[in-house]
Chain A
Amino acid sequence: MTETMTTKKVNKGISRRTLLGTAAAGAAVVGTSPFWINIAKAEDKIRIGFPVPLTGPYGSEAAEQARCAQIAVDQFNKAGGLNGRMAELLVRDDKLKPGEAATRTLELIEKDKAHFISGSLSASVQLSVNAVTKARGIIYVSISQSDAINEAADFSPYTFHEALNPHMTAGAVGRYVFPKSGKRVAFLIADYAYGHEMVRGFKRAGEASGIEVVAEVTHPLATKDYSTFLPRIQAAKPDVLCLCNFGYDQLNSIKQATGFGMKQQMKLVAPALLYNQRLAGGSAYDGVVGGANYHWTIEDKVASAKAFNDLYRAGNDGAPPSDYGAYGYAGVGGLLEAVKAAGTIDTNKVIEAMEAMKYDLYKGTQHYRKCDHQSVQDVFIVESKPEAEMANKFDVFKILDVDRASGDSLRTCSELGHKA
């Protein structure tokens, strides 16, 4: 309602007063946002700190993650909590900055007395949160799709990684695409950790099918215009172009590669094909193949997905949850399930429970690998549907294949520097 009212105001023509009015309305909206309702402290509650980048380029993903994490907490409380002891979620804005995230995490632990931490949405932020929790001996369940914290140098017994990692997604996509679409492979790479990790994942998967790398073009993070990078890739005549970038970089490069007619010449694939970007990208995504941790349509086959979707739909006007939202749900939900299994919030007992448990929260059975605490889980290979095939506006991906949960697709424990 507020939104339509504001739209009308602006359309009437803008005076200084309308501007102020609109700004005030906006402030009111922010003020009543659901994240702040649960902040009131209660001594006996199980407190889970949740630093995510509410402001910044991943703001919409972060807000979605917080919504889904809250669902997990509500669900836990409704089922009676831990013998009547309720949980609460403390959402904080890390602004996608490592320093900010470290400060917020420290505050959550010292001031708010958080028992557990989950959250974060970037490799560097995740590392800094992990550094704090590691030093304080607090369990941290990361939901960022980069697995640097699983390597021995940064790992600690308190470190868990719920999200997929580059080797899982790029590996699954590579194993599916290379045998079908061809051996000449080109890479468009966002020049930062995530981009290069994804390239390694693809190359490793490509060894089996004997791929030939015909072009590797890096672009700066947050590039807007890809036209200068694309002709070189076209000239190399690849069968497959792997877009190793994220967020709006993925959206913009797919839009522009489509403009260059590259889809007629090669298969476009992305290690993680993003649901939110697909919603914003429209028809440019048609036919692009990629990996996903989740797509809501698996509810036909997976009971836990149906349950999660229904909980989300009830509070969000019937819209299904996104892939990144599901990470928020699983990160916090997994923690609470372990707390229940352990029957206590004692850190060491909960760690034991997490290492031992098989959990099925939203996508089928998962478990944490003992040596590096990476969550072993299914990877879905999806293809973006053209509008004509979509049952509704959220039905954007067709599930081509499922890379079943197995430790084989992961880097081995010794590769990560862990003692076997």
Chain B
Amino acid sequence: MSGITFDLFVLQLFTGLAMGSVYVLLGVGLSLIFGMLTVVNFAHGAFYMVGAYMGVFLMGVTGNFWLSLIGVPLIVGTLGLVVERFLIRPLYGRGIDYPLLLTFGLGYVFIEIIRIIFGKEGQVFDTPDILLGAVDIGVGFFPLYRIFLIGAVAVLIFGLWLFIERTSFGLVIRAGARDPEIVKVLGVDVSKIWLIVFGIGTGVAGLAGILYAPLQGVIPEMGVSVLVEAFVVTVVGGMGSLIGAVVAGLLVGVVVAMTALFAPHMAEVSMFALMALVLLVRPQGLFGRAGLMG
């Protein structure tokens, strides 16, 4: 194709990494919950959507984006705690398809509730003024908000890594993931760990929802495609691997961006082609092994 300059190529690469950071954000919550609880959370996209709506709600109450950014993961995480305690917990030990079907239905319930409360019409969520506009990154203009997104995701991932790798609670989480029976025998309350991990995973999904809200329409169905993308990232990176989610998210972003540059109509398919390829070569995913950090 003509018209592809070096600058455009580099800008597109950067675009891919920026979009990849969003995929990381989407994938990491799903991956965390699966890695620890072996629960495939099909309501992940719905938690993301609820996060965006809670963002709209908090912005309406406080008028402050930063307060909302702190409030949303707490609210959605709390919702996650309630869901784990009262809906998921009774299903432990019954096979992986029980919580899968439950969360699948739960996703629809959330969408319906949001429709009833907020209506079917989209909600306004403008980019905060301070992050408006585009900046020159040397090869072209790039939206300030997307640069902020990259930073926010980096901070979040670093925080999660510190929490899991460097705290004693994180140690218990990792141990619980490897062998819950032994941890139980040692006198640790595993159910409490699972509760908290589910809360964190759903809280991160909610955070992703509000972070992405300025870039898209806030509608009840917005989480549906997110679930698919989060699964691709999780499968490519390896279920339950934090580093896997990061590498896979960025990789998916770059692959989609490069495909969009040379064959835009193939962009959507490219991430699934990548997933199929990875599954053929490494069925467990790039970093998929037992244990969170692979």
- Please list the residues of chain A having a beta carbon within 8 angstroms of any beta carbon in chain B: 3, 6-7, 10, 13-16, 19, 22-23, 25-26, 29, 57, 59-60, 63, 191, 215, 217-220, 222-225, 227-232, 234-236, 248, 251-252, 255-256, 259-261, 276-277, 279-284
Residues of chain B with a CB closer than 8 A to A229's CB: 260, 264, 267
Chain A at the B interface: mostly helix, strand, loop or mixed? helix
Inter-chain CA distance A217–B261, complex, in Å, is 9
Do A218 and B265 have beta carbons less than 8 Å apart? yes
Q: Which residue of A lies closest to B260 (CB)?
A: A228
Given the interface contacts A227-B146, A248-B219, A255-B214, does A218 sit within 8 Å of B121 by beta carbon?
no
Do A283 and B140 have beta carbons less than 8 Å apart? no
- Please list the residues of chain B having a beta carbon within 8 angstroms of any beta carbon in chain A: 3-5, 7-8, 11-12, 15-16, 18-19, 22, 78-79, 82, 86-87, 109, 112-113, 115-117, 119-127, 133-134, 140-143, 145-146, 214-219, 221-222, 225-226, 256-257, 260-261, 264-265, 267-268
Inter-chain CA distance A14–B83, complex, in Å, is 9
Do A256 and B3 have beta carbons less than 8 Å apart? no
Given the interface contacts A227-B146, A280-B122, does A261 sit within 8 Å of B133 by beta carbon?
yes
> Looking at the complex, which one of A22, A63, A217, A279 makes contact with B264 (CB distance below 8 Å)?
A217
> Looking at the complex, which one of A29, A235, A283 makes contact with B5 (CB distance below 8 Å)?
A235
Smallest CB–CB gap between A115 and chain B, Å? 30
> Looking at the complex, which one of B3, B117, B122 makes contact with A215 (CB distance below 8 Å)?
B3
Given the interface contacts A220-B267, A261-B141, does A22 sit within 8 Å of B219 by beta carbon?
no
CB<8 Å pairs between A and B, sample of 15: A7-B117, A10-B117, A224-B222, A224-B225, A228-B257, A232-B4, A232-B261, A234-B141, A235-B8, A235-B140, A251-B216, A256-B215, A279-B122, A281-B217, A283-B126
9 A-B pairs with least C-beta separation: A280-B122, A261-B134, A228-B260, A259-B143, A282-B124, A26-B116, A220-B268, A60-B120, A228-B257
Do A15 and B86 have beta carbons less than 8 Å apart? yes
Query: How many pairs, one residue from A and one from B, have CB atoms within 8 Å of each other in the complex?
Result: 152
Smallest CB–CB gap between A189 and chain B, Å? 9
Inter-chain CA distance A281–B122, complex, in Å, is 8
Q: Which residue of A lies closest to B144 (CB)?
A: A259
Do A261 and B143 have beta carbons less than 8 Å apart? yes
> Looking at the complex, which one of A29, A220, A279, A282 makes contact with B265 (CB distance below 8 Å)?
A220
Do A191 and B265 have beta carbons less than 8 Å apart? yes
Smallest CB–CB gap between A32 and chain B, Å? 13
Smallest CB–CB gap between B125 and chain A, Å? 8
Inter-chain CA distance A258–B7, complex, in Å, is 21
Given the interface contacts A220-B268, A260-B142, A280-B124, does A248 sit within 8 Å of B8 by beta carbon?
no
Do A29 and B267 have beta carbons less than 8 Å apart? no
The winner among A227, A235, A248, A252 for most chain B CB atoms within 10 A is A227
Inter-chain CA distance A299–B140, complex, in Å, is 45
Inter-chain CA distance A219–B257, complex, in Å, is 12
Q: Which residue of A lies closest to B263 (CB)?
A: A218
Smallest CB–CB gap between A102 and chain B, Å? 24
Do B16 and A14 have beta carbons less than 8 Å apart? no
Residues of chain A with a CB closer than 8 A to B145's CB: 259
The winner among B22, B79, B109, B267 for most chain A CB atoms within 10 A is B267
The winner among B125, B142, B216 for most chain A CB atoms within 10 A is B216
Residues of chain A with a CB closer than 8 A to B216's CB: 224-225, 248, 251-252, 255-256
Residues of chain B with a CB closer than 8 A to A234's CB: 140-141
Given the interface contacts A222-B225, A261-B133, does A280 sit within 8 Å of B261 by beta carbon?
no
Do A59 and B260 have beta carbons less than 8 Å apart? no
Do B113 and A225 have beta carbons less than 8 Å apart? no
Q: Which residue of A lies closest to B269 (CB)?
A: A220
> Looking at the complex, which one of B117, B122, B143, B221 makes contact with A260 (CB distance below 8 Å)?
B143
Residues of chain B with a CB closer than 8 A to A259's CB: 127, 134, 143, 145-146, 214-215
Inter-chain CA distance A32–B260, complex, in Å, is 47
Residues of chain B with a CB closer than 8 A to A3's CB: 116-117
Inter-chain CA distance A236–B1, complex, in Å, is 13
Inter-chain CA distance A216–B7, complex, in Å, is 19
Do A60 and B119 have beta carbons less than 8 Å apart? yes
Do A248 and B217 have beta carbons less than 8 Å apart? yes
The winner among B78, B117, B221 for most chain A CB atoms within 10 A is B117
Inter-chain CA distance A222–B8, complex, in Å, is 25
Residues of chain B with a CB closer than 8 A to A279's CB: 121-122, 124
Residues of chain B with a CB closer than 8 A to A223's CB: 268
Given the interface contacts A60-B119, A280-B121, does A228 sit within 8 Å of B221 by beta carbon?
no
Inter-chain CA distance A26–B122, complex, in Å, is 19
Inter-chain CA distance A217–B8, complex, in Å, is 15
Do B217 and A280 have beta carbons less than 8 Å apart? yes
Q: Which residue of A lies closest to B121 (CB)?
A: A60
Residues of chain B with a CB closer than 8 A to A235's CB: 3, 5, 7-8, 11, 140
Residues of chain A with a CB closer than 8 A to B11's CB: 231, 235
Inter-chain CA distance A236–B4, complex, in Å, is 9
Given the interface contacts A256-B215, A260-B141, A277-B122, does A231 sit within 8 Å of B109 by beta carbon?
no
Smallest CB–CB gap between B148 and chain A, Å? 11
Knowing that A228-B15, A251-B216 are A-B contacts, what are 13 other residue pairs whose CB atoms are under 8 Å apart, sorted by A's residue number? A22-B116, A225-B19, A227-B15, A227-B19, A231-B15, A232-B264, A252-B216, A252-B217, A255-B216, A256-B215, A277-B122, A280-B121, A283-B126
Inter-chain CA distance A249–B86, complex, in Å, is 38
> Looking at the complex, which one of A7, A225, A236, A277 makes contact with B215 (CB distance below 8 Å)?
A225
> Looking at the complex, which one of A7, A13, A16, A228 makes contact with B261 (CB distance below 8 Å)?
A228
Q: Which residue of B lies closest to A253 (CB)?
A: B216
Inter-chain CA distance A14–B15, complex, in Å, is 39
Residues of chain A with a CB closer than 8 A to B87's CB: 16
Inter-chain CA distance A261–B134, complex, in Å, is 5
> Looking at the complex, which one of A16, A22, A218, A261 makes contact with B113 (CB distance below 8 Å)?
A22
> Looking at the complex, which one of A218, A232, A256, A282 makes contact with B12 (CB distance below 8 Å)?
A232
